[in-house]
Chains A and B, each alone.
Chain A
Amino acid sequence: MARAREKSGRRRTAREFEPGETQAALASFDRRTFLKLMGAGAALAGSGSLAGCWKPQPVEYILPYVDSPEGEVPGIPRFYASGIPTGGFTCGLGRGVIVEHHEGRPTKIEGNPRHPSSLGGTDTFMQAAILQLYDPDRSRQPLQGNDAITWGGVLGKLRQFIHARGGAEKLRLRLLTGTLASPQLADQLAQLRTIYPNFQWHEHEASGRENSRAGLRRALGRPVTPLYDFTQARRILSLDAHFLAEEVAGGCAAGGSVRYAREFAHHRRIPFHDFGPNQTHSPATPAGTQPTGETGLTPQTMTRLYVVETTPTFTGAVADHRLGIRPAMLAAVAAELARGIQGNAGGGSLPDPIANWVRAAAADLKEAGNAALVLAGESAAPEIHALAVAINARLGSIGHTVRYLEPVETLPDENAGTLAALTQAMQSGDVDLLLILDTNPAFTASGDIPFASTLEDFSRDPNHLALHLGGWVDETATRCTLHVPLAHALEAWGDVRGHDGTISLIQPMIEPLFSAKSAPEMFAALLAIGIGTGGRGSSDLSAGDLYAGGYELLRRFWTAQWSSLSPGDREMRWRKALRDGILENTAAPEAANLQPRPLETALTDIAALEKAPIPGSIEISFRPDPALGDGRWANHPWMQELPKPITHLTWDTVALLSPATATRLGIRWNGHDSREEIPVLKFSLGQAIVEMPAWIEPSQPEGVICLHFGGGRSTGGQILQGVGADVYPLRRQSALWSASDIRITLTKKRHAPACTRPQQVEVDRDIVRSRTLDQLPAQPTAIQTPDLYSTTTIQEGPDKGKAVHLSLYEEYQFDGYKWGMVVDLSACIGCGTCVIACQSENNSPTVGKEQVRRGREMHWMRIDSYQGDAATRSWQNLDDNPRIRFQPMFCQHCENAPCEVVCPVEATSHSDEGINEMTYNRCIGTRYCSNNCPYKVRRFNFLQYNPHDVLTLNMQKNPNVTVRSRGVMEKCTFCIQRINIARIDAKKAWAQEATAAPELRKAVEMRTPAPDPYFPVKPLPRMRLQTACQQACPTEALIFGDINDTAAAAYRLKYQQPWAAIDYGVLAELNTQTRTSYLERIDNPNPAIKKTAGGAS
């Protein structure tokens, strides 16, 4: 039996493997042949894989967690609150931020909704701070000369030096910093004063607040910090005050620009939610304003802004009336304004059109009473600041639209604490040890302070020691004896105060990347050395603090501050502060018993300044570069490539001049184009000669050339090399902001600028729509802006009366989520924050000047601006004060997308939620989609723009967004990664709800479907999300949401009155049916000033 089975089994085997056959096959395939074929196969595979050699693959390391941090789920980002000073490192006022973390890497910065200086919004600098952290050019180790030493080595040198100079008691110690607004550092400064009796602190900011401080002191008798309240202000007049922007640490906004912008914008638009002091974010479901169909806007309730400025800014661009004047006339304008408010206008030296303008404004302000606000900018003389205070006092605005707080920043001694005083002391040998913290005076000192050479001589002398604590080995560091890398605000412990004094704790988001030290650590070490070398010790300091860590120092400082609390409460307070990002109720108290000087006295003071400019002369005004600041952002590729708000120039600093001034200098100009080469002007003042390319800007006032400082740096990184020219040699202590004695000559040289939007007139196209308030009925019901080629009108439903386009095809029903965006042009201030936020969120590369010049910048989002009105055909039609209208432009997510039909490989397609999607892997790069896009919002990787071999830059990348390589088209995705994360969260919550026990159930918020036949949608869980641009926008100009959800802000703005009346699609006549629509800009001009929005006449 068994044998039989075996036999049959063998037979079966034999059937399947005929012995002869198998052997024959094997015989014909001997070992040699096999190896030969294998070899040939491998060779073929090798040559075949050559096709895969197009991209060098980076070496990658995978480092698993040995000990996983508690609560860490790989792939799920975590968010931490912190604060960031305006300069990014230590100096400047703080703004609250929320930092996104991916597996221990901070990748993105958002505003902290709880922080009063942020309210959830950001500005370009806050957004850019994340890449500043990862700048591969940051200084990596302490240096002595060019030699690397250790932190211990630095401390040893210091101790040795202090000993040699006779100990802490005798040491003449000087400290030079930028603006300090940290309670901890202020405390340490005080301690330094105790331990080193010969200590002197100097403050230096190239764009500091000397004028406003002096002016306020003059007007109010003591130092205060102004705090504006734009929610109260209905009539605002700015005297060269660019209050919507943060001009580094100075400027009139002084840390508050983001909040001011939000407050200001809220009263310039048809509001869609309530705005109170506790208002944080634009809610997905605004509970506030109910759609009554009323705009809620009257000329009285809508803010009216007058801007008098000497160079165009975006604050001027959003004004109802912009007046461009020469700097020398600013005092006269201020005086005329004051006289107008007094009621005895006239008698000034102003030409009639300007005087009339000012009088009309003055009358309007006077009528508004305590709802009026006059601001003076940093470039205004102290007398003008004092006059502005007096005007506000006269109007009764103090306490309403402006309040004066006890100083928020730590203030230096009025005269002794300046850079000039320090330089003098160094020259006369009064300084032994100089510590420079987070400031770069060797570059930013004005021309009449020979700081760089003094420092060089100082360091050369072995009896002196200069120690630099800074982010880069920059112009100052190379002239110092010792250099220590400074920790970035994202990698150090500390604290900082916001514009109103509210304190944020700064917590590190990552270990210091390079062996960097924070300012408190440096100061603590200095204190410890002081004690060790005979300084008068204080109780809580010992020599052991030499190596005290930032955490320990900060804990100790705040424990001391909270000594009245129990240890438990202290701990709670500490934890809450870290979690919230702010210390509650720490705003600076209002300065009591202020006695503003009367207007009359202030007017008398200003009389000396009130002089007519010399006819025919050309004045120079100095301004920090809008993107590079005073030069500290010069090594930042995002900031270099951010198109500057008015000129749209990148990678440059230029001299701005009006066409008429250009003609006077012998420049012939016929409009800008992308490949032009512009002439170079030579500015000379004594020995100082600066050559700057001349950029003709129609909105620049006649007779004044604006020079932006911040460019022309030489040391400190690769990015800043060769960008712009250094203007500082032309500045003087006595003429920091303007000068009239600089010789200007036209050279034969040409310069190639990189301008992203050379064409800035609308050429009679209906692109940026705007209307004045009187053209907007209080209760608009019908669409007043019908699109061209409309063919039919909806008869019922919420869209009743809305014109729609006929299509050959049946319209797709988006019956789930339906994403849409509304851009409120009234709110957009053109600051460019969304551009940087998008770049940060979506891993967009920078491409460099040459590529920008070729028209290949990679921003998914851009701010278009048009000068003049819609009918302006060319720059020649522009008047002296052209209006500037901004329009954020990005993928419009057309429902009839022209890009989709022309892609041969279906790399761009429409999702069932209405998003025009890009599938990068499919894209073969025909670029037809870009050609066919009427909005030209698609961006193409013409070359390999994303470097994949710079480790620190890779760390910034958002892991949820593909890093695109060469040859691929890309564009705005409505932050699809955020949508998907929100979808997962919503689904999870829904599922939990369904499975949870009834007692554990918490309601999942459901969408409220649109109640009309056009959107037959079932309720779905509501997703909570904001796109990166929306979240970053300081003014909530971008509103994104599910437009199938009747409660969503985006739905209401698109479909409900009164917003729907001014909602329009750009190029709607192409029947692209864009998902992004724009609310027309509304202006509130003064009828007494004839020409709307910006005209002297």
Chain B
Amino acid sequence: MSTPLLEQVDPVVDARYTYGSVTDDIVRHVRPPVSMTWLFGFAIAFALLMLLNYAVIWLLIWGVGIWGINIPVGWGFAIVNFVWWIGIGHAGTFISAFLYLLRQEWRTSINRFAEAMTLFAVACAGLFPLLHLGRIWLFYFILPYPNTMDLWPQFRSPLVWDVFAVSTYGTVSLVFWYVGLLPDLAGLRDRPDQGIAARKLYGFFSLGWRGASSHWTRYQKAYLLLAGLAAPLVISVHSVVGMDFASGVVPGWHSTIFPPYFVAGAIFSGFAMVVTLAVPMRSLFHLKGLITLRHLDGCAQLMLVTGCIVAYGYYCETFTAWYSASPYEMGMMWDRWFGRYWPLWWILLICNVLVPQTFWFRKIRRSPWTLFVLSILINLGMWLERFIIVIQSLHHDYLPSSWQIFLPTFWDYATFFGTIGLFLTLFLLFCRYLPVIAVAEMRELVMHKGSGAGEEEEPHD
């Protein structure tokens, strides 16, 4: 079996890795002594989380009126953030399901943390549809459950589809991630350097994994099935989110391109977030051999592809507005380019259209810190895109008499940055207590790709 040329020059894992070293390198970062760097990061993240706490309590006391929303802009930051976070989640599922099914080996070293990212992003996203309700305490009205109030969800509403799409997505993502974690949890349980409590905990969550062949057989089958189950969700969830808008009559929402355009945007922003997380992580945790330039290159290429789809979406929306000859569509589009929110629109064009074009250059794709900066720009751009879709469209609709400006309040920002705190808090805890790279899968990869893998020692599980 000859090694492909690309593999020779550009390995997905450093050729010097062995079973042992790959395990040690990854597991070294699980429950290390608390470092100042981690503590510093965690302090910031936790402070932001407390800000979220504060903002949510205030919200529950007073109501959504503490935000900047109004009539006609009935949806504000909450929905912007929801779409943004759920989009970010998509890369994780895309990596772990799509790339797995397509046997893309380079997914292996990034799928674990990307999935964790998905999970945490979905957790952040899931908060918003609840928080944005006028009467949050009645959120369960939206669920189909037998009751004496003669109440049943109205299935024509995309918001109901949303509930199913997002909850399914959250559940599948959790199960997928957890199933993938099982061998590694068992591995952690079995390491001699663990304390008793940790051993008990890891032992509890590893569900009695012994590494038996029967376990592995079933594990791999289950993983494949879950990958198969998760793959369509990548498409469906954001399509449904897109339909939240597309099925409305609002100029700027009522557009058939939304579902695919939203999916592309989601993957675009998701990979940007993967890069945003991977670049500092591989430096801090000395994982450059495992998360190689090849991975970053792959992410950048995907961003380039999806970025072009997104750019096409912008073009298409503008063209359709002009071609429709509808005064409402054209008025909305004119306002988008030159109206009250024009700076945001132009920044978003720079971030989402121009920035990914730099990924045509191999040099940029392979310079981690450049990528890091660009990925943050893309994240910003994608957030602005949702801002424009949700808020700019609403503020400038059919009757000029109802046009109003939306201006965010402190609480809008507090809730948004608060969820960033929630995300980072969860992610930092994840980095500290779980292997950020799938050890078992890496070892398998090392066996295939590494030099002399398996010759030094037997896998010990």
Chain A interfacial positions (CB closer than 8 Å to B): 51, 54, 673-675, 757-765, 767, 851, 854-856, 862, 864-866, 887, 889, 898, 901-906, 922-928, 930-932, 934-936, 938-944, 966-969, 1066-1067, 1070
Given contacts A902-B247, A904-B142, A936-B72, contact A765 B328 (CB under 8 A): yes
B70 and A855: CB pair below 8 A? yes
Q: Is B159 an interface residue (CB 8 A)?
A: yes
Shortest beta-carbon distance from A393 to chain B in Å: 44
Query: Which single member of B157, B394, B402 contacts A902 (CB below 8 Å)?
Result: B157
Q: Are B73 and A855 in contact (CB under 8 A)?
A: yes
**Chain A contacts for B152, CB-based, 8 A:** 906
Question: 30 A-B contacts, Cβ less than 8 Å apart?
Answer: A767-B399, A855-B71, A856-B70, A898-B249, A901-B247, A903-B154, A904-B159, A904-B163, A905-B153, A905-B154, A906-B151, A906-B152, A924-B135, A925-B64, A926-B133, A927-B74, A930-B72, A931-B72, A931-B74, A931-B248, A931-B250, A931-B394, A934-B399, A935-B399, A938-B71, A940-B71, A942-B134, A944-B63, A967-B135, A967-B136
Could you tell me if A967 and B404 are in contact, using CB atoms closer than 8 angstroms?
no
Interface string of B102-138 (1 = CB under 8 A from A): 0000000000000000000000000000001111111
* Across-interface contacts of A764 in B (CB, < 8 A): 327, 331
**Which B residues from 129 to 175 make CB contacts under 8 A with A?**
132-139, 141-142, 151-154, 156-160, 163
User: A45 to nearest B CB, angstroms?
Assistant: 16
Q: Which residues of B contact A944 (CB under 8 A)?
A: 62-63
Given contacts A898-B249, A926-B159, whether A968 and B135 have CB atoms under 8 Å apart is yes
Contact between B250 and A932, CB atoms less than 8 A apart: yes
The answer to whether B157 and A674 have CB atoms under 8 Å apart is no
Interface-centre pick from A762, A898, A928 (highest chain B CB count, 10 A): A928
In the bound complex, residues from chain A placing their C-beta under 8 Å from that of B138 are 924
Query: Which A-chain residue is minimally distant from B407 (CB atoms)?
Result: A675
A866 x B400 contact (CB < 8 A): yes
CA distance A51 to B140 in the complex (A): 13
For A967, the chain B residues whose CB sits under 8 A away are 63-64, 133-136
- For B151, what are the chain A residues with a Cβ–Cβ distance below 8 Å? 905-906, 922
Are the CB atoms of A928 and B159 closer together than 8 Å?
yes
A759 to B395, CA, bound (A): 12
CB-CB under 8 A from B247, the residues of chain A are 901-902
In the bound complex, how far is the Cα of B133 from the Cα of A855, in angstroms? Answer: 19
List residues of chain B with CB under 8 Å of any chain A CB.
Answer: 60, 62-66, 68-75, 132-139, 141-142, 151-154, 156-160, 163, 247-250, 327-328, 331, 340, 394, 397-405, 407
- A1093 to B394 CA separation, bound complex (whole angstroms): 34
Query: Among the listed A673, A903, A1070, which residue makes an inter-chain contact with B340, where contact means beta carbons less than 8 Å apart?
Result: A673
Asked whether A902 and B159 contact (CB < 8 A) given A763-B331, A927-B75, A930-B71, the answer is: yes
Residues of chain B within 8 A of A943, CB atoms compared: 62-63, 65-66
The distance in angstroms between the C-alpha atoms of A856 and B340, with both chains bound, is 20
Residues of B with C-beta under 8 A to A889: 399, 401
Give every chain B residue within 8 A of A924 (Cβ-Cβ).
133-136, 138-139, 141-142
| Chain A residues in 8 Å Cβ range of B249 | 898, 932, 934, 1070
Q: Is the contact region of chain B dominated by helix, strand, or loop, or is it mixed?
A: loop
A940 touches B157 (CB 8 A): no
Closest residue on chain A to residue B61 by CB atoms: A54
A934: chain B residues within 8 A (beta carbon): 249, 397-399
Question: Judging by beta carbons under 8 Å apart, are B405 and A674 in contact?
Answer: yes
In the complex, what residues of B have CB within 8 A of residue A761's CB? 400
Q: Select B134's contact among A51, A851, A904, A966, beta carbons within 8 Å.
A: A966
Residues of B within 8 A of A51 (CB): 137
Given the complex of chains A and B, what is the CA–CA distance between A906 and B159 in angstroms?
12
Say how far B206's CB is from chain A's closest CB, in angstroms: 34
Chain A's interface: helix, strand, loop or mixed, by majority?
A: loop
Q: What B residues does A969 contact at CB under 8 A? A: 134
Which single residue of chain A is at the shortest CB-CB distance from B249? A898
B441 CB, nearest partner CB in chain A, Å? 40
Chain A residues positioned under 8 Å from B400 (CB to CB): 759-763, 765, 767, 866
Among A904, A925, A939, A969, the most chain B Cβ lie within 10 Å of the Cβ of A904
Give the distance to chain B from A385, nearest Cβ to Cβ, in Å.
38
B72 CB to nearest A CB, Å: 5
B404: chain A residues at CB < 8 Å are 674, 758, 855
- In Å, the complex CA distance between A867 and B288 comes to 66
The residue in B71, B133, B160, B397 that gathers the most chain A C-beta atoms within 10 A of its C-beta is: B71
Q: Is the CB of A904 within 8 A of B160?
A: yes
| CB-based contact B157/A903 at 8 Å | yes
Given A942-B65, A967-B133: A759 in contact with B403 (beta carbons within 8 A): yes
Q: How far is the CA of A582 from the CA of B263 in the complex (A)?
A: 71
Are the C-beta atoms of A898 and B248 separated by less than 8 Å? yes
Q: What is the bound-complex CA distance between A217 and B460, given in angstroms?
A: 115
Known: A898-B249, A936-B398, A942-B134. 5 other contacts (CB 8 A): A764-B327, A904-B142, A936-B71, A968-B135, A1066-B399
A555, B343: Cα distance in complex, Å: 73
B333 CB to closest chain A CB, in angstroms?
A: 13
Give 9 nearest A-B pairs by CB, closest first.
A925-B134, A967-B134, A942-B65, A855-B70, A927-B74, A943-B65, A936-B402, A864-B401, A967-B135
Are the CB atoms of B154 and A932 closer together than 8 Å?
Answer: no
Residue in chain B with minimal CB distance to A648:
B401
Contacts of B331 in A (CB 8 A): 763-765
The residue of chain A having its C-beta at the shortest distance from the C-beta of B396 within the complex is A759
CB distance from B39 to the nearest CB of A (A): 35
**Known contacts A757-B401, A866-B401, A942-B63: does B74 contact A928 (CB below 8 Å)?**
yes
Closest to B142 in A: A904
CA distance A866 to B402 in the complex (A): 12
Closest to B66 in A: A943
Give chain B nearest CB distance to A1071 CB in angstroms. Answer: 10
Q: What are the residues of chain B within 8 A of A765 when measuring CB–CB? A: 327-328, 331, 398-400
Closest CB in chain A relative to B175 CB, distance in Å:
26
Residue of A nearest to B155 (CB): A904
Tell which of B64, B66, B139, B402 has the most Cβ of chain A within 10 Å. B402
> How distant is the Cα of A765 from the Cα of B75 in the complex, in angstroms?
25
Q: Report whether A763 and B327 are in contact in the complex, using a CB–CB cutoff of 8 Å.
A: yes
Pairwise interchain contact B64-A942, C-beta atoms closer than 8 A: yes
Q: Give chain A residues whose Cβ lies under 8 Å from the Cβ of B405.
A: 673-675, 855
Closest to A862 in B: B401
The answer to whether A864 and B74 touch across the interface, beta carbons within 8 angstroms, is no
Task: Report how far A401 CA is from B437 CA in the complex, Å.
Answer: 93
Chain A: minimal CB distance from B146 (Å): 15
Q: Which residue of B lies closest to A52 (CB)?
A: B137
In the complex the two chains form, is A904's CB within 8 Å of B137's CB? no
Given A674-B405, A934-B397; A902-B248 close (CB under 8 Å):
yes
Q: Give every chain A residue within 8 A of B407 (Cβ-Cβ).
A: 675
Which of B69, B139, B400 gathers most chain A CB within 10 Å? B400
Instruction: Say yes or no: A864 contacts B248, CB within 8 Å.
Output: no
Contacts of B327 in A (CB 8 A): 763-765
B230 to chain A, nearest CB (A): 25
Q: Which residues of B contact A763 (CB under 8 A)?
A: 327, 331, 400
Q: How many Å from the CB of A677 to the closest CB on chain B?
A: 12
Whether the Cβ atoms of B248 and A856 lie closer than 8 Å is: no
Query: How close is A1066's CB to chain B, nearest CB, in angstroms?
Result: 8
Known A866-B400, A932-B249; judge A905-B135 contact (CB<8 A).
Answer: no
Assembly CA distance A943 to B66 (angstroms): 8
Q: Complex Cα distance A936/B249, Å?
A: 12
Which residues of B have CB within 8 Å of A864? 399, 401
Q: How far is the CB of B18 from chain A (nearest CB, A)?
A: 55
What is the CA–CA distance of A423 and B92 in the complex, to the nearest angstrom? Answer: 83
With both chains docked as a complex, state the minimum distance between the C-beta of A1059 and any C-beta of chain B, in angstroms.
24
Chain B residues in 8 Å Cβ range of A675: 405, 407
Whether A923 contacts B62 in the complex (CB less than 8 A), given A758-B403, A903-B157, comes out as no
Contacts of B72 in A (CB 8 A): 855, 930-931, 936
Minimum CB–CB distance for B11 against chain A, Å: 50
CB-CB < 8 A to A862: which residues of B?
401
B136 neighbours in A (Cβ, 8 Å): 924, 967
